[in-house]
Each structure stands twice: as structure tokens, then as C-alpha cells.
Amino acid sequence: MRITVIGAANIDIITKSKSKIIPGDSNPAEVSLTAGGVARNIAAMLARHGEDVSLIAAVGTDPFGNLLQESCSDIGINTDAWIIKNNISTGVYLATLENTGELYAGFNAVTAAESIKTAEITKHKKIIREANLLILDLNLSEKILATVLELREDGPIMVDAVSVSKVKRIEKLLDRVDILKMNRLEAEHLTGITLDTKERVKQAGYNLVNRGVKRVFITLGMAGVCAVEDKTAIFIPALPIAVKDVTGAGDAFTAGVALRLEKDLRTQAEYGVTLAAEHLKRKV
């Protein structure tokens, strides 16, 4: 399957405390620096599963940009369509994790994806149109999202919501989306429904389906995931595992859903949960 992924590629700097974090104090920790970004993470997982993946991302000419491009090429991601600029800084995501692996605080400076211009994306219309699956993350501006969807013409489109602050970028384009993956907070923000019961989670899913999305996946942390299409809503429980690091688990879920593109709703959701669980077990 040929897959084109468009969105953020950045450097992740992850700090994991060795004990429960004491605010205002100096906490012993482990620190790692790795390639990251929602679109890059999804592309990497798909490439490792043998898929033919092209990634379109914007980076600077700084050392972080070079590191990202090299790391992607090393695992088989096609980077020929990267947008490399000397007037931007490559994105950086900084996360502080509790000793349990849960996110304590996250900070992002990932505006590179938002710097993409219409002319820069239009010249890559061939790999956008010819992909068997197009995956977008909402680090892209609303204008570029609309441009990409217009260029696509035909074929399945999958969107990862990324964050509460960016989820409404897709609001006016929902009727073009085949698969929408979001977490509880993002779904609440987009639908205006408080997801404090299973019935309300289903209600939010149906809200989005009624607005044009074919399949909706709402991840609920340790409560698993709710998957919705047409008149069907199902809950898939999370797998019982010892969490090492939550960073990128949602991206792993998205990749799992993509890898089961032609399967039924339950199979897609279950494989997404499986890949997310495998990711959660890794060390930071």
C-alpha cells in the first residue's frame, strides 16, 4: 500500500523523572532526544511494518532538520517531498513525564508545519493523488488542509486531530474525512459534548458521523477506545500493561488503524489498541 503522510516532523526531548515529581524542586531524571512529530511518528510505524510511505513535512536547515531527514531515510521513509527552509526553525516538542510514564507537562514549538505555503504543497500533488491512503495531522494550517483535500480528488483520507488547540481546523472539512482519530479532550472540544459517560462518548461519535465523517475513533486512555460508524458504536478495552512512556501512543493507534484500512470497524480499532499498547511498553 502506498501511503502519503503530511504534517509535523520535529525533535522530541523527553525528560522522565526517576521518582514522583516535586514541583519547584530539582528532580533526578533521564533525558532522551529522538525524532518525533505526529506525522513523522505515524510514517515511521507504517514504514517499519513494510508499507511504502512518503512523508511531506517542513523543517529548517538547522542540525535538527538534518537529523530528522536522515533518521526518516534510514527507516525507509521517502523524504523527497520535504519542504526545507532556511528561514524557519525545525520543530521541537518537550515533554516531562512522571516516573510512571504519564505526561506531567508538554510544550511544543512546532510551527514549521504551519509555515507551508500553497505553492509548496501543490507541487507535490502527484504523491497526494496517487497514494492509496492519505494521512493528515492537524499541525497543518486550515488553508493547507483545504488545499490538500482539493488536490486529493479521490481516495481515502485519514486525519489525526493532534491537540485541542488545533482540532477545529478540520471542522469545516469534516465531510471530506473518511477516518478521524481523536482523544477524549479533542472530541469534547469539536463536538461541545462532555464525554463523562459511555453514552455521551457514543453521542459525540455519532455527531461527527452525522457531519460527514465515515469512521470516528475516540481514544479514552485506560478506558480504551470508542469506534463509531453510521449506526454502529463499539468500545474496545485497553490492554493491561505496565506503561513506560505515553509519548506517541496515539500516533501508534493511528498507524494501527491505517494498517487495517480495508477491514471492519472492530478489527481496525483492535489493531490500533494493540499497536498503542506495544508502544506504551517501550522505555523512554
Residue 146 lies inside a defined structural domain of this protein: no
Examine the domain organization and report whether 183 and 126 are in the same domain: no
Cell numbers given for 171: 471542522
Same domain, 76 and 174: no
Q: Is residue 1 included in any domain, yes or no?
A: no
Helix/strand/coil percentages in the chain, nearest 5: 40, 25, 35
For residues 216 and 94, state if they share a domain. Answer: no
165 shares a domain with 64: no
Provide the mean pLDDT of the chain. Answer: 94
DSSP per-residue string spanning 44-95? HHHHHTT-EEEEE-EEESSHHHHHHHHHHHHTT-B-TT-EEESSSPPEEEEE
Band (71; pLDDT cuts 50, 70, 90): very high
Q: What is the CATH number of the domain that holds 178?
A: 3.40.1190.20
Mean pLDDT value across residues 114-136: 97
**Residue recorded with cell 508545519:** 113
Q: Binning pLDDT at 50, 70 and 90, where does residue 240 land?
A: confident
Reduced to 3 states (helix: H, G, I; strand: E, B; else coil), residue 50 is: coil
Cβ count near 73 (within 10 Å)? 13
The three grid cell numbers given for residue 237, joined into one nine-digit string: 478495552
Q: Has residue 111 got a pLDDT over 70?
A: yes
- Identify the pLDDT of residue 110: 77
Q: What is the band of 243 on the pLDDT scale with cuts at 50, 70, 90?
A: low
Q: What is the pLDDT of residue 283?
A: 45
235 and 173 in a single domain? The answer is: yes
Residue 109 lies in a domain: yes
Per-residue pLDDT of 127-174, as tens digits, reads 999 999 999 999 999 999 999 999 999 999 999 999 999 999 999 999
Residues 99 and 161 in one domain: no
Which of 131, 164, 183 is a domain's end point? 131
- Give the model's pLDDT for residue 162: 94
Same domain, 126 and 34: yes
Residue span of the structural domain in which 173 resides = 156-284
237 within some domain: yes
- Domain count along the chain: 2
Place of cell 509555515: 115
Cα–Cα distance for residue pair 186/161, rounded to 1 Å: 7
243 plus 172 within the same structural domain: yes
pLDDT at residue 103, as a whole number: 86
pLDDT at 196 (0 to 100): 96
Q: Once rounded to an integer, what is the mean pLDDT over residues 92-115? A: 88
Residue 241: all three cell numbers together? 500493561
Residues 42, 79 within the same domain = yes
User: 3-7, 12-16, 221-225, 247-251: lowest mean pLDDT where?
Assistant: 247-251
Query: Do the domain assignments include residue 228?
Result: yes
Based on the fold, state whether residues 88 and 164 are members of the same structural domain. Answer: no
Residue 244 has pLDDT above 70, yes or no: no
What's the pLDDT tens digit per position in 185-231?
999 999 999 999 999 999 999 999 999 999 999 999 889 999 999 98
Kindly state whether residues 13 and 126 are assigned to the same domain.
yes
274 and 175 in a single domain? The answer is yes
Dihedral sign for Cα atoms in the order 173, 174, 176, 179: positive
Residue 133 belongs to what H/E stretch? Answer: strand 133-137
Residue 150 lies in a domain: no
Instruction: Tell me the percentage of the chain whose pLDDT exceeds 90.
Output: 86
